[in-house]
Amino acid sequence: MVAAGGMDYPQSIHRAYKEYLRSEGIRNGASRASMSKYIWLATKLGLIEFDHAEAVEYWDGVINGAEPAPEYIRESRPQAPSPRHYFRILDAADPRWVRLEASYRVSIGQEVPPPAPKPAIRPPVPKAKVEKPPKAKVEKPPRPARVPKPKPPTAAERVQPFEGRIDLLIGSLEELETTPTMEGALAIESTLLDLGEDVVAAGGKSRGQTRTLFRFINVRLRSALEEMGLLRSSVARVLAAETESDRAKAEPPLRAAIRVLIENLSPGEEDQE
C-alpha cells in the first residue's frame, strides 16, 4: 500500500501482503480471512481509510492526458470495483502499524521479535511557583448620587395654566359688572377667542385624561362665546342710559348676562371628576 499509494479492496491488499511475506521467507498463514480481520482492525484504528482516488472523469479518460498512475494496483477480477475507489494510508509512520502487524503475525503462528524497550517514564517536574507581585488596589471613584427623575405631571396639572387664564377672565367679568365699558367687553371676547385656540392646539397634542379635560374646557369656552352677544348688548344698554332710572333698569340684565358667563366658564361636575 505504501508503494502504490493506494489500492482496491482487500483482495489486492491480501495479494500484495502475501508477496511481502514470501519475500521474507514466510509461505504459510496468510489466509484471506485473517487478512480481512487485519484490514478491519486497521480501518477501526484509523490507519487506513476508504476514499476516492480522483474524480470519475479522471479514471474514465475524459480528461485529456489523464491516466491512472502505473503503480496503482487494481484487482483483475471482473467483479472488482472501479479503480476510482481505494484504501488510503493515513500515516505510514504511525507506530500502531508495528503493533498491528505483530498481532497479525502472532495470529498466523509466526514469531515476533520482542518490541524495543520503552523509555523510562520521567517523573513530572513540579513547576516552580512564581509569586505574582501584589496588585495595588485601585480606589474606585464614589458613585454619583442618584437624582430621582421628576414625575410626569398629572392631567390636572397640565390643564392648570388654562384654568388660571379662565380665572382671570372671570375676574375681568366681575370688574365689568362694576365698571361696564364696551372696550372691556370686547377685550374679554378677544381673550376668549385666543384662549379657545390655545386649548384646541394643546388638546390635539394630548392623550387620555388630559385630552378629555381639554375637551371640557373647550366646551365651556364655546358656551361662553355664545353669550357674548348678550353681554355686549347689555353693556351698550347700560352705557346708553341717560338717567339713573334707565341705568337702574339696564343693570340687572347686565348682571344676569355676567352671571351666565361666569357659570359657563366655571368647571362643572364632569371637570371636577
pTM reported for the whole predicted model: 0.45
Q: Which amino acid is at 145?
A: A
Note the CATH architecture for domain 155-272. Answer: Up-down Bundle (1.20)
Domain with CATH 1.20.120 in the chain: 155-272
pLDDT for res 61? 47
**Which tens digit of pLDDT belongs to each residue from 165-186?**
999 999 998 998 888 889 999 9
**Which tens digit of pLDDT belongs to each residue from 101-153?**
888 777 777 777 777 777 888 888 888 888 888 888 888 888 888 899 999 88
pLDDT confidence tier of residue 3, bands split at 50, 70 and 90: very low
Whether 1 and 101 have beta carbons less than 8 Å apart is answered as: no
Q: What are phi and psi of 85, to 5 degrees?
A: -110, 140
Is pLDDT larger for residue 245 or for residue 76? 245
Q: Which residues pair with 231 in a beta bridge?
A: none
Angle at Cα 70 formed by Cα 65 and Cα 74, nearest 5°?
A: 115
pLDDT for res 77? 43
Range from 17-31, 47-61, 190-204 that averages highest in pLDDT? 190-204
DSSP string, 195-252: HHHHHHHHHHT--HHHHHHHHHHHHHHHHHHHTHHHHHHHHHHHHH--SHHHHHHHHH
